[in-house]
Amino acid sequence: MRETIIIEKEKVELKNPVLIEGLPGLGTIGKIVTEYLIKQMKAEMFAELYSPHFSYYVLVDKRGNVRLLRNEFYLWRNESGENDLVILTGDSQAQTIDGQYEVADRILEFAKEKGVRLVITVGGYRDKVKGEPKVIAASTSPTVLKKAVEAGAVNSPNGSPIVGTAGLLVGLADLKGMDALCLLGETLGYMPDPKAAKSILKVLMRLLNFTVDLTDIEKEISHSEETVERMREMEVQKRLSLQKRRKLEKGRITYIG
């Protein structure tokens, strides 16, 4: 494999498709959002992307099955609404600078062939989080940005850059004549963050006028909050026992002195 390739499992015809991309990144938010949509919508994989710019290892599942790192395109046919969804998720982003550009370019070429005119990328944005995580929006089109804000997103506060595939897809889409929107969930970013993912899901539903059941992600959030709580307690215990030991040691030193 000399360059990034896309293998179509099935030739599909799409109705006003919108591409939603979410790959591994800050707080795993992109991947949580896209995998949640795929599962809830029972979306079906119809194409795979492979690249010599992904890492040079292969994955083995529990049954001993091997496969290359890849990105995957899923399709959800929107029977009642306007836009079919093409959902892109995967194992990896490209590992080099020009690899990042090559992969993003290949994704957009493919999306354009399939009739995509709006690209939405999803990821995380590192910040302190108060209450419900905010969803920050940035776009190549003022009209699309306005719609995102109407759907519950807020404008990027200080114009900080967007790194990786979520950023490049938006920037390159503009050159190829497609509209593009980036939605970033506020997150501390130090562990997978389903809460930020849920905020993005809500914006996406309002923006694209579809519905998925959020019960499962709320369970994930509870579970994740319990984990954080347990970790905090362990941390407190550790600190207390450390203080105790230090006092003892100080006592001993005094005694020796």
What is d(CA 232, CA 58) in angstroms, rounded to the nearest whole number?
35
Q: Tokens 């996406």 map to which residue? A: 204
Nearer to a copy of itself, 87 or 137 (CB): 137
Nearer to a copy of itself, 105 or 127 (CB): 105
Q: Is 57 in the site for a copy of itself (CB under 8 A)?
A: yes
How many residues line the site for a copy of itself (CB under 8 A)? 56
Positions in 58-97 near a copy of itself (CB under 8 A): 58-69, 95-97
* Least CB distance to a copy of itself at residue 60 (A): 5
- Contact pattern from residue 139 through residue 158 relative to a copy of itself, giving x for each residue in contact according to CB under 8 A and a dash for the rest: xx-x--x---------xx-x
Q: Is 55 in the site for a copy of itself (CB under 8 A)?
A: yes
- Contact pattern from residue 179 through residue 198 relative to a copy of itself, giving x for each residue in contact according to CB under 8 A and a dash for the rest: -x-x----------------
Q: Is 171 in the site for a copy of itself (CB under 8 A)?
A: yes
First to last CA, the chain: 71
Nearer to a copy of itself, 80 or 158 (CB): 158
The residue count of the chain comes to: 257
* Least CB distance to a copy of itself at residue 92 (A): 11
Q: Is 24 in the site for a copy of itself (CB under 8 A)?
A: no
Residue 217 three-state SS: helix
* Least CB distance to a copy of itself at residue 140 (A): 5
Residue 179's nearest CA partner among 87, 80, 94, 111 is 111
Nearer to a copy of itself, 67 or 219 (CB): 67
What is d(CA 41, CA 224) in angstroms, rounded to the nearest whole number?
23
What is d(CA 249, CA 112) in angstroms, rounded to the nearest whole number?
68
What is d(CA 214, CA 167) in angstroms, rounded to the nearest whole number?
27
The pair of structure tokens assigned to 236 is: 């407190």
Residue 191's nearest CA partner among 137, 163, 238, 229 is 229
Q: Is 160 in the site for a copy of itself (CB under 8 A)?
A: yes
